[in-house]
Amino acid sequence: MSLVESSLLPSDAVYRQVVPAGEPWIHEVRRGQFFRIVDLGGNQAADTLFYNAHDYSDRYSAQDTIQNQGNLYLTTGTRLMSTGGTLLLTIVADTCGRHDTLGGACANESNMVRYAIEKRHMHACRSSFLKAVIEWGRGMDKRDIANNINFFMNVPVTPEGGLTFEDGISEPGKYVEMRAETDVVALISNCPQLNNPCNAYNPTPVEVMIWNPRD
């Protein structure tokens, strides 16, 4: 793990927004801008999708990102690639050290299959994503909700290739920061999951911040 701090000050940010536990957030980040997500309470999964702002069908690809860096975990230096081969963002600072892109987003269906039939109507990330893009009203719909990143979520891969949702390694105030390499749309579902340790069974807010390009 490579822990790298940012020199950008929250007081210089041009945009700041706290995203409450369980809520979605969608916003454009322009080329050259810096985009930070802060885990305010610790051990909170921020399920995140990115799109090329000029073509929403050109979206974040876990497979291309993993292939590009030859590693399963995301951290400082990771180049977030799209399905069309576009470099969307680069992770430039990370005080948590590891982020998941294999575990996917929670959904009503997967909650029911993984946990219990009664979990079906619990609030889930896929519904949050869908609600956000529909309210945003720019033509995105269910087919645009593809593979995502789980910032601050710990999903270690065993030597046999197994996936396990483990207790988080993040703490209050840890953050991940990216530089947009093209104009992107960022969509976050601040995960409401209560059935596995990804949110320490207690979802908490995250804060998003944006800075303008450096001279």
Residue by residue, what is the 3-state secondary structure of the chain?
Answer: CCCECCCCCHHHCCEEEEECCCCEEEEEECCCCEEEEEECCCCCCEEEEEEECCEEEEEECHHHHHHHHCCCCECCCCEEEECCCCEEEEEEEECCCCEECCCCCCCHHHHHHHCCHHHHHCCCHHHHHHHHHHHHCCCCCHHHCCCCEEECCCCCECCCCCECCCCCCCCCCEEEEEEECCCEEEEEEECCCCCCHHHCCCCCCEEEEEECCCC
Per rule CB under 5 A, is residue 180 in the interface with Zn ion? Answer: no
Given the complex with Zn ion, which of 95 and 148 has the nearer CB atom? 148
Given the complex with Zn ion, which of 46 and 180 has the nearer CB atom? 46
Choose the binding region for Zn ion from 54-62, 125-133, 156-164, 180-188 (rule: CB under 5 A): 125-133
Interface with Zn ion: number of residues (CB under 5 A): 4
Task: Choose, by CB under 5 A, the member of 191, 206, 208, 210 that binds Zn ion.
Answer: 191
Per rule CB under 5 A, is residue 196 in the interface with Zn ion? Answer: no
Give the number of other CB atoms < 10 A from CB of residue 198. Answer: 26
Q: Which of residues 66-105 bind Zn ion (CB under 5 A)?
A: none
Task: Choose, by CB under 5 A, the member of 6, 82, 148, 193 that binds Zn ion.
Answer: 193
The nearest distance, CB 47 to Zn ion, in angstroms, is 5
The nearest distance, CB 98 to Zn ion, in angstroms, is 18
The nearest distance, CB 45 to Zn ion, in angstroms, is 6
The nearest distance, CB 31 to Zn ion, in angstroms, is 29
Residue 215, both tokens: 């001279």
Per rule CB under 5 A, is residue 106 in the interface with Zn ion? Answer: yes
Q: Which of residues 27-66 bind Zn ion (CB under 5 A)?
A: none
Annotate 81-93 with b (16+ C-beta within 10 A) or e (fewer): bbbeebebbebbb
The nearest distance, CB 107 to Zn ion, in angstroms, is 8
The nearest distance, CB 124 to Zn ion, in angstroms, is 6
Per rule CB under 5 A, is residue 155 in the interface with Zn ion? Answer: no
Residues near Zn ion (CB under 5 A) = 106, 125, 191, 193
